[in-house]
Structure formats: structure tokens, C-alpha cells
Chain A
Amino acid sequence: MSAFDHLMSGFAVALTWKGLFYCFLGCFWGTIVGVLPGLGPLAGMVLLLPLTYGLDPATGIIMLTGIFYGAMYGGSTTSILVRIPGEAASVVTCLDGYEMARRGRAGPALMIAAVGSFIGGTASVLGLMLVAPPLARVMLQIGPPVEVVLMLMALCVIAFISGGSRLKTAAMIVLGLMVGTIGLDKLTGVPRFTFGNLGLADGLSFTALAIGLFGISEILLNLEKSEAIKAIRPRLRDLIPRWNDLKESAPAIGRGTVVGFLFGIVPGVSHVVSTFVAYAIEKRFSKHPEQFGKGAIAGVAGPETANNATTGTAMIPLLGLGIPSIPATAILLSALTIHGVSPGPLLFTENPQVFWGLVASMYVGNAVLLVLNLPFVSLFVNLLRIPYGWLVPAILVISVIGVYSINFNTADIWIMTISGGIGYLLRKLGYEMAPLLLALVLGDRLEEQFRTALTMSGGSYATFADYSALIVIATVAGLLLLLQGFAWAFGYSKVIADQAERT
């Protein structure tokens, strides 16, 4: 079958009423969490993760991915209308987007952000479709040692580039790997840290931990901020941009697509980095750099496009290699694993409908989001008027039911509550939860492959530095250094990422 035939079979999955409904639901919820300041894509995904357990793998993953890229779209709305970024990747959009809104040009800013997001998002899906299958074929040729090297590299890069203290991030990674060892040892069946409790044989519930560490802690942190939000309200007829807006935005959208696509592969904070780099590039290329920060439309178009162009690329390591590079794809990995689907090389042979259904749904979802984010933008802006205190019980009730319905065990509600409290305290003290989550997801496989590789090599650690492993290390390190150099050349630094995270 050719890629075109596969894509058509994917559309057959995505365009069923069920596929469309859950794609719409994911995009809709994603836009809501993107619009609501404080609730990011990650929290939005983990909160609805349990709902996917009753669905088939393709539909479940379509919904979760819809939340991921839906939040990227929605994040720009509050950046432009309220000057509060809905999520970290929309920080840069505040600079010029809000200035445009203040000058009565909120409509064109929203329109260009949505169109740029659509183009960037669609182009990145095209990239995902073309790159992931050949990458998976390469992965089939390489064995456990290289997989171990890749996973370790992903964790090291996250420790190196994520915001805040590297020591604390490294501690969270090791803690995540350690929590992942609870339960029966996969290779020998020996119970570890279960203390005779059969309920711990499968380890601590990932969903309960993820909802607690991300969802609950985020809600608790947001409860501390009680300022009223005053949004600028755009009118539908004001959405149409002027000819000059289109002329200035078109090249920015093109450049943003390339930047987002390239930076999407960087583990950790790719979407945040890409927006800063895209903004810096637009400023460098502009004939009127002095207008940046005062309402330049290219300052909205470039970063918003880049932000959405990372979504497809960020899926490549997950679907092609089976290794998540960002926390959002770690959630997707967990969802796939729960459904018995292995992402990576086997996905394309054993469950092609999941991959191609997802790709097709992302094309559909990007179009759905364009419609949701333009004519219905006022609807989402109205959400900002709902007091946060009213949203909290609704979100928590969904979380409790979702967590309970996995194993029908109240112990999971306790795990969620306790990890929520711990996550809240750790985040107040500057510890990041994303590396912990990523390590928790990767831990099992990292250990399994590490031990398998050693068994295969007769106990020789040199297997992790053989020819193919060295090639992979050199390629990945070279690519990352190139992108880092590119980012530095345009004025991006870790300090800026820290500021974005802090916002």
C-alpha cells in the first residue's frame, strides 16, 4: 500500500461519526484549556485521559491529540485579548497581539494567529506522515542498546534545557525512574517495593499520579490567583485582515512553519523555544523592527505558526521511535500502552489504523479548530467570565470519577490527592513535574532494554558505545547543537525560557 492509500484508510477511521465526534470533543476541550489561563494542554490531557479507556485505541488517541493541538490554538486567544498567555508557548504572542488588540485590531490578530496555526499545524502533520514511517523502519534495524542511548539522551537533554535548576530537574528525573520501578519486575517477575500488597503489583497508577502531579497541583496553584480578568471583546466583522496584514504575515507564517517543524524535535520545551526563535527571526527580517512590541502583525504570525508547527514534529519521536520527547506525548504513550498498542516500529505493521487514523484526524482537527477559533472566539472569551471557583468543582468531579473508573479502587483517589498535594508543594519550590512524568513513562522500558542489551552482549557495557549507537549519538547531538546554535544566533537563551515558564 502506498502512503496515499494508507492516508485514505486513515480518513475512513477519522471521518466516522465517532472519529469526528471525539476529534471535535478533543479540539473543543483543548481550546477551552488553552483559553483558560493556568490550565495547560498537559493538565487538559491528563484530566480526560481516563475517559479514553472506554474507547478504541484510535478514537482515544484522536481525542487526546486533539486536546494537545487544540490548546496550542486556544492559548493565543487570551494572549491577544487579555495579555495572559493561556499556556507557556503563547507568551511571545502577548507582546504584539495584545498591543494590536489595544489599538482596536484584535480581529486581525486573532485571524492571522488562527490561519498561521492552521498552516503550521497542517504542514507539520504532513511532515509527521512523511518522516515517521521511514524512521520506524530504521528503528527496526537497531536494537535495545541504541534504544537505551536514545532514551538516556532524551532525559539528559530535558535536564539540560528545561527551565529552573538543573539539579532539581535531574532529581525529578531520577525520582520518576525510581517510582517506575514499583511493581513486578518485567523480566523476572520479582515484586519490588510492593510490601506484600497485590494492588501494587502493576505499580502505582500512572493516571492517578499524572492527574495529581499535573492536574490537581495546577488547580491548587491557580486557586491562589484570584484577580478578575478583563478581556477585550472582538467583533466578528472586525476579523478580516487588511491587504497589508496579509502581505506582512505570509512570509512570517512560512518561516514560522519551518522553525516550528525543526524545533519540534527538541525534547522538553520545543514549543516554547520555537516561538521565541520565530519572534527573533521576524524581528531580524523585518523592515520595521522598531514596531515589534508595539503591535507588529508578523510578531503574532511567526510565533503562533511555529508553536503549532511543533505539534506534528513532536509526535515523530513517539510514533516513529516509541520514545516521547515532551510530556504531552508521554501522556499519549501511556494511553496507547493502556490500550495494548506499542508505539514505534510495530505501530505501522500491527496497528496502522491508529497511526493513519491519527494523521487523518489531525488534518480534520486543524480545520475544525480554524472554525472554532474564529466565528466562536467570543464564546471562548466568555469562559473567562466564569469564576474559577465554579470551574474547580466541575474539573475535580471529572478527575475523581476518571481516576476511580480505571481500577474501581478508591486507593487511586488517594494517590491522586496525595500526589496533587506533593506536586503543589514541589512546584511552589521550583521543582518541575514534566521531567518526572517523562521519566516515569520511560522508566520501565529503559530498564528492560538496558538489561536485555546487557544480556545479549554477555554483560559487556561496550554494547552501548558500538558503531550504530555512536552514529545515533553523533546524529542527535549534532542536530541539537545545530538547533541550539541557530537559536543562540537569533538571541534565544535559557533565561528567556525560564521567564516564559515563570509567566
Chain B
Amino acid sequence: MLPDQSTPQEADGQGAWARPFPVRLGEAIVALALLASALFVVWQAALLPFGRVGLPGPGFFPFALGIALGLLALAILYGIWRSGPGIGEVVFLGHRDVLLTLLALAGVALAFERLGAYVALGTFAAFLLLLVARSAPWRVLLGASLGMVAVWLFFGLMLGVRLPAGELWPQLLEPTAELPSEPSSDQPSGQQ
């Protein structure tokens, strides 16, 4: 795939958050990240049993791959350097809907086991319907609720997938359950 060549006009339509970013700078950052990964892998692989070139150990393959990736990253950087100065082509990064979706996914990962799958996914769906699909609030509520019923029917009942119920709710419903009991006089305080 070739770099995404969005025009400024397209970017305007995509939302005000998108900003032009030089492709060459992006490519250089990615190449440097690849080079850093390669060096890290070479370093870590060197700590593993290397074996011999004829009979390689567990460190041999990652070591060789690290060297190869490092060389490729350097070749990419050389290509960027050779193409001369100037901004050149740009891509638009920071699209509003993309950022919101990534943020929502991170939120789901955080809340999935704490709040429970249905609450986390319902909130996630509602968030995206409201801010990405830009739907009316009643549609958002209806869509998210029906969606969770469908999830329960399909995954819970049909496929038998056991989704987390949430760690927070038992604590909220039974606040005393987690509280420490009254210390007895003969018990050392450190064991409580």
C-alpha cells in the first residue's frame, strides 16, 4: 500500500483535529523506531545461549533478525536522507473519530474486568454511537441496550462465552464484606 495521500480539502471534511504531517518525517521516525527495536533485540539476544554458527542456540535467530532489521532500517533512513531536503508529501494524522475510537478501546481494556463486560461494552458502544456516529441520544441508548442484549444472546447463551461480571459491583453491593474484622486483643496487629 502506498502512503495515504489525503488532500487538505479531504482533511477539512474529516474534522478539525487532523493535522498535516510530513511523510518523510513519519518514515524517519518509524525507521528510527525499527532501528531502536533491532538494537534492543540484538542486545537481549546476545544474553541468550548463542550456540555455534553450525549449531545455533536460542539466541542465534533473534540476533540475526536484529542485525537484518537494523540494516533495513538504516537503508530506509539512507533513502530518506538521499531524497534531499523539503517537506514533500504529507499525511493527515489526528482525525477526531480515530482518536476517540482508540481512546474508547483503551477505556474498554481498563474497565472490562472492573466494571464487567456488559457495562464496559455498553458504555463503549454508547460513546462511539454518540461521538463517532453522532446519533441522537435516544438512538444511542436504544442501540447500546439492544446491542448488549444481542451480545448476551449470541455470546452468552449461544456460544457459552463467560464474560466477566465485574469486580466492582460485589464490593459496592456488600461494602462490609471486604472490611477487616474487629481485631482481637490477643492477635498481633501485623497479621490483620
Residue contact B49 to A190, C-beta cutoff 8 Å: yes
Residue contact A410 to B147, C-beta cutoff 8 Å: no
Q: Which residues of B contact A171 (CB under 8 A)?
A: 34, 69, 72-73, 76
Number of interface residues of A (CB under 8 A): 67
The chain B residue with its CB closest to the CB of A401 is B155
The chain A residue with its CB closest to the CB of B26 is A429
Q: Which residues of A contact B58 (CB under 8 A)?
A: 185, 187-188, 190, 192
Residue contact B102 to A421, C-beta cutoff 8 Å: yes
Q: Is the interface of B mostly helix, strand, loop or mixed?
A: helix
Q: Among B107-115, B169-177, B178-186, which stretch is in contact with chain A?
A: B107-115
Residue contact B98 to A224, C-beta cutoff 8 Å: yes
Residue contact A397 to B54, C-beta cutoff 8 Å: no
Chain B CB within 8 A of A490 CB: no
The chain A residue with its CB closest to the CB of B14 is A224
Chain B CB within 8 A of A404 CB: yes
Chain B CB within 8 A of A341 CB: no
Chain A CB within 8 A of B23 CB: yes
Residue contact B102 to A220, C-beta cutoff 8 Å: yes
Residue contact B34 to A175, C-beta cutoff 8 Å: yes
Chain A CB within 8 A of B116 CB: no
Chain B 144-183 interface 0/1 with A at a Cβ cutoff of 8 Å (1 = within): 1001000100010001111100000000000000000000
Q: Among A130-138, A332-340, A345-353, A450-458, which stretch is in contact with chain B?
A: A450-458
Residue contact A413 to B108, C-beta cutoff 8 Å: yes
Number of interface residues of B (CB under 8 A): 74
Chain B CB within 8 A of A26 CB: no
A226-B98 Cα distance, complex, nearest whole Å: 12
Residue contact B129 to A393, C-beta cutoff 8 Å: yes
Pick the most buried of B1, B13, B121: most chain A CB atoms within 10 A of its CB: B1
Chain A CB within 8 A of B52 CB: yes
Q: Which residues of B contact A226 (CB under 8 A)?
A: 13-14
A/B pair count, beta carbons within 8 Å: 196
In chain B between 100 and 128, which residues have their CB closer than 8 angstroms to a CB of chain A?
Answer: 101-102, 104-106, 108-109, 112-113, 117, 121, 124-125, 128
In chain A between 166 and 220, which residues have their CB closer than 8 angstroms to a CB of chain B?
Answer: 167-168, 170-171, 174-175, 177-178, 181, 185, 187-188, 190, 192-193, 216, 219-220
A24-B144 Cα distance, complex, nearest whole Å: 27
Q: Which residues of B contact A143 (CB under 8 A)?
A: none
Residue contact B151 to A178, C-beta cutoff 8 Å: no
Chain B CB within 8 A of A424 CB: yes
The chain B residue with its CB closest to the CB of A387 is B133
Chain B CB within 8 A of A478 CB: no
Q: Which residues of A contact B57 (CB under 8 A)?
A: 188, 190
Chain A 20-44 interface 0/1 with B at a Cβ cutoff of 8 Å (1 = within): 0000000000000000000000000
The chain B residue with its CB closest to the CB of A399 is B105
Residue contact B97 to A430, C-beta cutoff 8 Å: no
Q: Which residues of B contact A489 (CB under 8 A)?
A: none
Chain A CB within 8 A of B3 CB: yes
Residue contact A390 to B108, C-beta cutoff 8 Å: no
A368-B61 Cα distance, complex, nearest whole Å: 46
Footprint of B on A, CB under 8 Å? 51, 54, 163-164, 167-168, 170-171, 174-175, 177-178, 181, 185, 187-188, 190, 192-193, 216, 219-221, 223-224, 226, 387, 389-390, 392-394, 396-397, 400-401, 404-405, 408, 410, 413-414, 416-417, 420-421, 424-432, 447, 450-451, 454-455, 458-461, 498, 501-502
Residue contact A401 to B151, C-beta cutoff 8 Å: yes
Q: Which residues of A contact B2 (CB under 8 A)?
A: 163-164, 430, 498, 501-502
Which of A187, A389, A404, A408 is the one whose CB lies under 8 Å from B128? A389
The chain A residue with its CB closest to the CB of B120 is A400
The chain B residue with its CB closest to the CB of A499 is B2
B71 to chain A, nearest CB (A): 9
A-B contact pairs, 19 of them (CB 8 A): A163-B2, A174-B65, A174-B68, A175-B37, A178-B37, A178-B62, A188-B57, A192-B48, A219-B101, A389-B129, A393-B133, A393-B144, A394-B147, A401-B117, A410-B112, A417-B105, A424-B98, A425-B26, A430-B1
Q: Which residues of B contact A425 (CB under 8 A)?
A: 26, 30, 93
Residue contact A393 to B102, C-beta cutoff 8 Å: no
A171-B67 Cα distance, complex, nearest whole Å: 11
Which of B30, B53, B97, B112 is the one whose CB lies under 8 Å from A426? B30
Q: Which residues of A contact B14 (CB under 8 A)?
A: 224, 226
Q: Which residues of A contact B113 (CB under 8 A)?
A: 410
Q: Which residues of B contact A417 (CB under 8 A)?
A: 102, 105-106, 109
Q: Which residues of A contact B102 (CB under 8 A)?
A: 220, 417, 420-421
A414-B109, A428-B26, A429-B91 as given contacts; A401 in contact with B161, CB under 8 Å: yes
Residue contact A221 to B4, C-beta cutoff 8 Å: yes
Chain A CB within 8 A of B20 CB: no
Chain A CB within 8 A of B79 CB: yes
A164-B117 Cα distance, complex, nearest whole Å: 40
User: 20 new A-B pairs (CB below 8 Å) besides A174-B72, A192-B58, A454-B56?
Assistant: A171-B76, A181-B62, A181-B65, A187-B58, A216-B105, A219-B101, A224-B92, A389-B128, A392-B128, A393-B125, A393-B133, A393-B147, A400-B105, A400-B108, A400-B112, A404-B112, A405-B163, A429-B27, A430-B27, A459-B54
A226-B109 Cα distance, complex, nearest whole Å: 27
A459-B51 Cα distance, complex, nearest whole Å: 11
Residue contact B55 to A459, C-beta cutoff 8 Å: yes
Which of A178, A400, A431 is the one whose CB lies under 8 Å from B66? A178
Residue contact B26 to A458, C-beta cutoff 8 Å: no
Residue contact B161 to A405, C-beta cutoff 8 Å: yes
Residue contact A54 to B128, C-beta cutoff 8 Å: no
A421-B23 Cα distance, complex, nearest whole Å: 17
Q: Which residues of B contact A177 (CB under 8 A)?
A: 65
Residue contact A192 to B62, C-beta cutoff 8 Å: yes
Q: Which residues of A contact B60 (CB under 8 A)?
A: 451
The chain A residue with its CB closest to the CB of B40 is A193
A413 to chain B, nearest CB (A): 4
Q: Which residues of B contact A185 (CB under 8 A)?
A: 58
The chain B residue with its CB closest to the CB of A219 is B101
A410-B163 Cα distance, complex, nearest whole Å: 11
Which of A167, A410, A429 is the one whose CB lies under 8 Å from B3? A429
Residue contact A389 to B44, C-beta cutoff 8 Å: no
